[in-house]
Structure 1
Amino acid sequence: MNQRKHTKQLRRQLRWAGLSATVLAAPASFAQDCPKPSLQQCMDVDYRASSCGSVHDAYCQGEVEQQWKAGWEVSPKRQALLPEEMGGEVATVAYKGHVPKRTRFQGMDQSLMGQVLKGQILYRKNLENLTKDEQAYLARIQGWEKDGAQVTSCQEFVDEKYLDFSRFEREAGRFGDDDRAFFKAAYGKDGIANRVLYSRDQEKLAPIWDGARTAKNAYFRFTPGPYPKGTEAYVFKSEAAKLANNVEARNWVAPSDAWHKEQAEKFNNVPDDLLNHHQVEQESFTALLRQREAVYAEWAVASKLLRARDHKTEELDKQTAERLFGLDKAIEESLVKAQKDGCLDAQGATVCDWSPRRYKTMLEAAMAPRREADLQACVFLTGNDFGPESFVRNADKLKLKGLDKKDYTSSSSLLTQYIAVYGAHIRDLLVPLTPSTGAVRHGGESSDSGYAGGDTFGGGYDYVAGWEYIQPGSSLRNKTLGAWCDSDVRLCGEFNAYANVFGSTRHEVAHLSGEAGTEGNGIRLKLDARVMGTSLYSHDQHYPLRVTFYEGRPVFKSDAAKASATFVVVVVPVTVQGGLSAEAGVKLNIGGAVNRNCAEDLLGVDLYGTITPFAAVKGFASVGIGVPGLQVGVRGELLITRVNVPLYGDIGLYLSSPVHPTNPNTLFLRASSKLDIELRFLDGSIKLFGELAFLKGETTIVSWNGFGNSWNIYNETRSLPLVRVY
């Protein structure tokens, strides 16, 4: 080999060797500047993405996995139902209960659930790291303990009237959403099962379970529901529907502590996650049944009012039947699934018959209503005023039979007696009074606020609603009240929602305020709505008692195709036309109403609106005799398909009559919203038309309905009793 060439090749090889050595040595050299990271660094996303994190990636991965495995080994285990993304099977999992540290729980004083939530969060946090509001509430509870049987507020009254239950419920907050732990505590040494519960002043409480019978599981609550007369009803054809419509299973058992204990032992080997999963599905099924009941009840009231005014109800009946049809179809689908899961066996035990979640749900259903009723009655009759000059501490001023003591705040039992006697007196008065002052009542106001969450996520609200009315004949001397249809009323309300997301700063999410008052045969309406600081609607105007504020037209409408031809038949021109038309767009309707119903003596104010995106395709054909401007003929139209997606919402304030069967003389705030999908096919009509110069007219000879269906996406209604007038 040529020596010169050999030397050149050797130099090239040495260069590549030196470069390779440099490259291979770089990580080792660089690693000297990146010391071995701690576990905390390995768990830091920013560190793992850094250059040093790349160098120690394998090491960090091993450390994190080792730490995770060690944590899994020492953590408590349970059988859990995995998410569908992880297979949906029952498996052994490790878990760790979450103890919140930075929380926000405040307000919510006007409802029982608000009091329960604020009490339970104290024990969820083990009475540690409490916020100022939580410390204040804890001090309030401790004050109730120190003052013995003395009652100083309506909240203390309810707490002490149901003391044994209140204490258990509050301290059970430490279990969070662990329903099994809640159940075990209820049957434990300091629990509420298999024992008599007492008030603060050692009065026996009524049993938790009232002896009423309940269904084997929620699916057996099913019975086919009614439809408006003359409409097509859904026919349940499945075997599941026949099995569920079982009277014996519908009245299966009267729940008791012993029954719940027996059921718990029966399903001891079934994972709680599986039991609770079936309970959640039953709660969704129950919601469907309630929604159907609400739709039919709404129709019954509306149709009765229309018939009383000699109006036809065919369209209302048709729309209601379509909604009921869709709900019944969803109900049957749920029943078919329940049968596949083995839940419709009316003889043997099934996994749908009991769960820790069902126990807790039934317990709340048994105890919450009676305590809420006591709280609202106390607030209404005392105004939550327990001061030295209050009626509740000077009952002798009322001079009522049955109230022979002066002070009724020395125990919850005495206050219960005061509420019963004084409440009956107020209920029988013809003149509305403010119970806490005895003054004639011409107005009132109710408000509350609350916030729950933490420094990362949270949400809250505040609302205020008020009213005043002028009613002919209402005075202390003249106790014969005038007709409500001759009265004037002013109603106002404001609602605000707040939230903090990924931070502690609270932001306004939504604001809604309104004021409405009758002025002659009309109303003055003021409305304001905004979302995330953006104004959506602002309004201040006078309207008749019922009016549509705005009714939109289709945003887009056009003929897709059209063809025509003219023939002369014995010197008479005959024009034949045909084609397709298409339309799409959005319709918007906004309206309000003040109802003065003299027949039923009701007063109410509503704000309602509908926004409906739609699309439709129609076919048409016509035959006309004559020339344009002087022509008669026949035109046929056929709807090929139409899709509507109406979103409806309303908010209203209603005052019930004194003879209302359940809530006489009560002011309600009522809001509802629903979203439907509607499909129609082959609706049509045949019309006779004519033209004479610029005059045009048409009349329908015959029309027919095709077929279609409506599916409800959601339908939510909330009615909040604000205040009882008298």
Structure 2
Amino acid sequence: MSLRRTPVRLPRPVRWAMLSTLSLAAPQALAASCPQPTLTECSNVDYRASACGQENDSYCQGLMESEWKARYTAASKRAALLPDSMGGGLETVAVQPNAVTSTLFSGSDESIVGQVQRGQVLARKGYKNLTKVEQAYDKQRQEWDANGVLERSCQEYVHEKHYDFSRFEQEAGRFGDDFRALFTAAYGSGGIAERTLFSKDGVKQAPLWDGKTRVAKNAYFRFVPGPYPQGAKAYEFTSEAAWKANNAEARQAVLPSDAWHQAMSKSLSKVADDVLNDSQQRQEAFAALLDRRNAVYASWQRESEMLRGRDFSTVELDERTAEQLYGLDKALEASLVKADAEGCLVTDTVTACDWSPRRYKAMVDAVMVPRREADLRQCLTVTGNDFGVESFIRNADRLKLKGLELKDYTVNPTLVSAYVKALAEYLASQASQQQPPTNPVTMTKRQGMDFSAGGYSGDNNFGGGYSLRAGWELSTPGSAFNGNWCDTNASIFSELALYANVFSPTRTEVAWLSGRASTLPSAIRAELSARVLGKSIFTFDQSYPARFTFIERKPFVDKDAARASATFMVWFIPVTVSGGLSVEVGIATSMGGALGRDCTRNLITLDLLGNIGPYASANGFVAVAFGIPGLQVGVRGTLTLLSFSLPLEGRIGVALSSPTHPTNPNTLFLGLGTSLNMTLRSLDGRLSLFGELGFLKAEFPIVSWQGIGTSTQLFNDQHYLPLAQLY
């Protein structure tokens, strides 16, 4: 007989009941091990996706709602325009300022805009929690204040020449994009309105408004139908809006003054600032379209003149330009129709399109930025930013020039202005007398000019910067300008590099462009190269006979050149967060020769003409999409980290004077001419709603904004150098 016991089997219904009880109890046992989460944990996507996060989902939801309500109650309120995705219209919203934490600023010493941006960041952060770079710049500003009115750099000179304005502008950085607060501060104590502005040494400065320059009632009245290449089909403006906007009287309707701005503010006091500023943003976009159209036509004029001067056909160029102008004019009319629907083209009453706190800021910048850029550029050109013990500006008596009898001109900003003006006039007179170009820093005869600059701005998530170098060189055997003129060669060159950081503080080279045009004993050499994200995309190195023409426009486009994304589930919906960098890079070059006459100098000229125009832009983007690829909607934000163009124009050639030339009859000259312009913009941006349905894709703009920018001529040298008297 077996001693094994037969196991007792419970009835099947009892077994299922026990298993069900255990299954239901398991989550409760697991939940007991999850501590109560904090607000920080509840805000963390990874925690919310974990087992504890899912278990505490309702608690987290309640905690976050309570926190949101508390912040909403405590935050300041203002009337704001809502995007269409939120129903549109004007509503009262709570405002929570975006705190500035980490930044990546450096360089930009050659630009007023760069100096302003770096100073305003200090004020925005309340001069606390500064990065090492910010601390260094803050220390520099403190040293400027501590040394009285002594000047030790061009940047300090410009800051203290416009001292009252500079101090106001820096402290206005704490307002961020609150243009109403800036306007109010301008009319308060320590402001810039309704008062005389002085330099640091007490010299009265030019008024903010000159009382002569009139401006349009609003930007739409700047519209005038533009010209087309001869024979091209022009766009026909048929709308009543275009007829209303083309109004010469409204184009000159406003004479800006502090009193006018104050009166406009009072008359529009019942209109929400958000409405006023939003209208101004649309007007800035319209003005940008006008400027772009003017630039396209001006570019056509230069290129067509070059081609016709050498008996080349301009048919292809004319057709391409006309097509561009047609599209721009169509966009201009569409904007005018919308403006008319908003009531912006009324001339007999004040409208919400005629003024805003944002327009006040833009008009002040339009006056003061070019004024100070000119001072900074002239100072850098004349002094090379050398204010050292042995520099000419501190030992001007060594120059022995009329008007510079003092020794040290760095004692105050007024004397620096006098030195810069006198030396610039002397150099200009030397050039007008056909003297060889002079290096103003060393006062030696110049065999080249080399300009370089660079800067970086942003934070540990997004940022952009640039470095550039451009100029001309002359090589002659023997001593400068006295060697064998047959062996004299010259070149113009330009180099530009762009950098950016995206979702990281690490800087990466986005694009690099380089161009050079030079003479050889019996030929002309052209060199062009470009790379994007370290990859070479274009290389050109070719020599041509002395007689040749080549014109080339070479755009390179690489959208979404760097991209990162992550997808996670919110309930049953996949959510994809992506970000990265989009890049647009190009270069326009032209080169050729021309035979002409310079009647003012009594010369016959044979010139090599060159133009190298690199341009580039780098944009950071971030997007949040709900759904799967091919069936999703989302929001995408784009920020211009840097938009840059650097057209360098050069002229190299020979000229022969007539027997009746007053100073150099029958003389062979070497002609040199270079000019370099720089346009730089950053922090322009837009926010848009996008969607995908199969192969159908659409994107709808929600809001856009203008950043900062500047356009300046870096140098312009035109000279004829006598080489030899032929007979």
TM-score (norm 2): 0.75
- In structure 2, the partner of 1:236 is 237
Query: Residues 289 and 328 of structure 2 are in contact (CA less than 8 Å); yes or no, is this contact kept in structure 1?
Result: yes
**What per-residue deviation string (whole Å, max 9, x for no partner) do you get for residues 168-191 of structure 1?**
111111111221221111112111
For residues 432-471 of structure 1, what are the structure 2 equivalents within 5 Å? 432-469=437-474
How much does 1:511 deviate?
1.6
Query: Residues 606 and 651 of structure 1 are in contact (CA less than 8 Å); yes or no, is this contact kept in structure 2?
Result: no
In the alignment, the residues of structure 1 paired with residue 466 and residue 334 of structure 2 have an alpha-carbon distance, to the nearest angstrom, of 37
How much does 1:143 deviate?
0.9
For residues 315-394 of structure 1, what are the structure 2 equivalents within 5 Å? 315-394=316-395
For residues 103-122 of structure 1, what are the structure 2 equivalents within 5 Å? 103-122=103-122
- In structure 2, the partner of 1:184 is 184
1:653 corresponds, among 625, 648, 652, to: 648
Structure 1 gaps of 5+ residues are: 1-7, 553-587, 611-648, 659-663, 673-716
Opposite residue 176 of structure 1, the aligned amino acid is: G
Is residue 292 of structure 2 the alignment partner of residue 297 of structure 1?
A: no
How much does 1:195 deviate?
0.7
Is residue 218 of structure 2 the alignment partner of residue 214 of structure 1?
A: no
In the alignment, the residues of structure 1 paired with residue 588 and residue 336 of structure 2 have an alpha-carbon distance, to the nearest angstrom, of 39
Query: 593-602 or 43-52, which moves further after superposition?
Result: 593-602
Opposite residue 437 of structure 1, the aligned amino acid is: T
Number of residue pairs matched by the alignment: 593
Is residue 681 of structure 2 the alignment partner of residue 667 of structure 1?
A: no
Local SS of the residue matching 2:105: strand
Opposite residue 25 of structure 2, the aligned amino acid is: A
How much does 1:548 deviate?
5.7
For residues 117-516 of structure 1, what are the structure 2 equivalents within 5 Å? 117-211=117-211, 212-429=213-430, 430-469=435-474, 488-516=489-517
| Superposition RMSD in Å | 3.5
1:593 corresponds, among 579, 591, 594, to: 591
- In structure 2, the partner of 1:98 is 98
Local SS of the residue matching 1:388: coil
**1:139–1:85 Cα change, 3 Å:** same
Query: 67-76 or 322-331, which moves further after superposition?
Result: 322-331
Query: Residues 452 and 458 of structure 1 are in contact (CA less than 8 Å); yes or no, is this contact kept in structure 2?
Result: yes
**1:173–1:597 Cα change, 3 Å:** farther
How much does 1:233 deviate?
2.8
**What per-residue deviation string (whole Å, max 9, x for no partner) do you get for residues 339-391 of structure 1?**
01110011111111111111111000011111100101111111111122222
Q: Which of structures 1 and 2 has the bigger CA Rg?
A: 1
Query: Residues 595 and 603 of structure 1 are in contact (CA less than 8 Å); yes or no, is this contact kept in structure 2?
Result: yes
How much does 1:322 deviate?
3.4
In the alignment, the residues of structure 1 paired with residue 553 and residue 149 of structure 2 have an alpha-carbon distance, to the nearest angstrom, of 61
How much does 1:268 deviate?
1.8
Local SS of the residue matching 1:400: coil
Query: Residues 513 and 531 of structure 2 are in contact (CA less than 8 Å); yes or no, is this contact kept in structure 1?
Result: yes
Local SS of the residue matching 1:404: coil
In the alignment, the residues of structure 1 paired with residue 314 and residue 198 of structure 2 have an alpha-carbon distance, to the nearest angstrom, of 54
**1:528–1:50 Cα change, 3 Å:** same
Query: 176-185 or 201-210, which moves further after superposition?
Result: 176-185
How much does 1:521 deviate?
4.3
In the alignment, the residues of structure 1 paired with residue 588 and residue 38 of structure 2 have an alpha-carbon distance, to the nearest angstrom, of 63
**1:46–1:358 Cα change, 3 Å:** same
Opposite residue 238 of structure 1, the aligned amino acid is: S
Opposite residue 216 of structure 1, the aligned amino acid is: K
**1:84–1:543 Cα change, 3 Å:** farther
How much does 1:469 deviate?
2.2
TM-score (norm 1): 0.75
In the alignment, the residues of structure 2 paired with residue 287 and residue 218 of structure 1 have an alpha-carbon distance, to the nearest angstrom, of 10
Identity %: 49
How much does 1:504 deviate?
1.7
In the alignment, the residues of structure 2 paired with residue 722 and residue 604 of structure 1 have an alpha-carbon distance, to the nearest angstrom, of 19
How much does 1:335 deviate?
0.8
**1:112–1:432 Cα change, 3 Å:** same
- In structure 1, the partner of 2:69 is 69
- In structure 1, the partner of 2:23 is 23
For residues 557-596 of structure 1, what are the structure 2 equivalents within 5 Å? 593-595=591-593
Local SS of the residue matching 1:376: helix
How much does 1:655 deviate?
3.3
**1:368–1:474 Cα change, 3 Å:** farther
Local SS of the residue matching 2:648: strand
Opposite residue 654 of structure 1, the aligned amino acid is: E
Query: Residues 549 and 589 of structure 1 are in contact (CA less than 8 Å); yes or no, is this contact kept in structure 2?
Result: no
Query: Residues 209 and 255 of structure 1 are in contact (CA less than 8 Å); yes or no, is this contact kept in structure 2?
Result: yes
Local SS of the residue matching 1:119: helix
Query: Residues 380 and 724 of structure 1 are in contact (CA less than 8 Å); yes or no, is this contact kept in structure 2?
Result: no
Query: Residues 234 and 325 of structure 1 are in contact (CA less than 8 Å); yes or no, is this contact kept in structure 2?
Result: yes
Opposite residue 62 of structure 2, the aligned amino acid is: G
**1:9–1:475 Cα change, 3 Å:** closer
Structure 2 gaps of 5+ residues are: 1-7, 555-585, 599-604, 616-643, 654-671, 681-708, 719-727
Local SS of the residue matching 1:513: strand
**1:522–1:153 Cα change, 3 Å:** same
- In structure 1, the partner of 2:634 is none
**1:486–1:366 Cα change, 3 Å:** farther
Local SS of the residue matching 1:461: strand
How much does 1:320 deviate?
3.4
- In structure 1, the partner of 2:537 is 536
Local SS of the residue matching 1:455: coil
Query: 540-549 or 276-285, which moves further after superposition?
Result: 540-549
In the alignment, the residues of structure 1 paired with residue 322 and residue 463 of structure 2 have an alpha-carbon distance, to the nearest angstrom, of 41
**1:670–1:215 Cα change, 3 Å:** closer
In the alignment, the residues of structure 1 paired with residue 36 and residue 94 of structure 2 have an alpha-carbon distance, to the nearest angstrom, of 30
Query: Residues 656 and 665 of structure 1 are in contact (CA less than 8 Å); yes or no, is this contact kept in structure 2?
Result: yes
For residues 538-557 of structure 1, what are the structure 2 equivalents within 5 Å? 538-544=539-545, 546=548
**What per-residue deviation string (whole Å, max 9, x for no partner) do you get for residues 516-549 of structure 1?**
3111342233433211121212344433454669
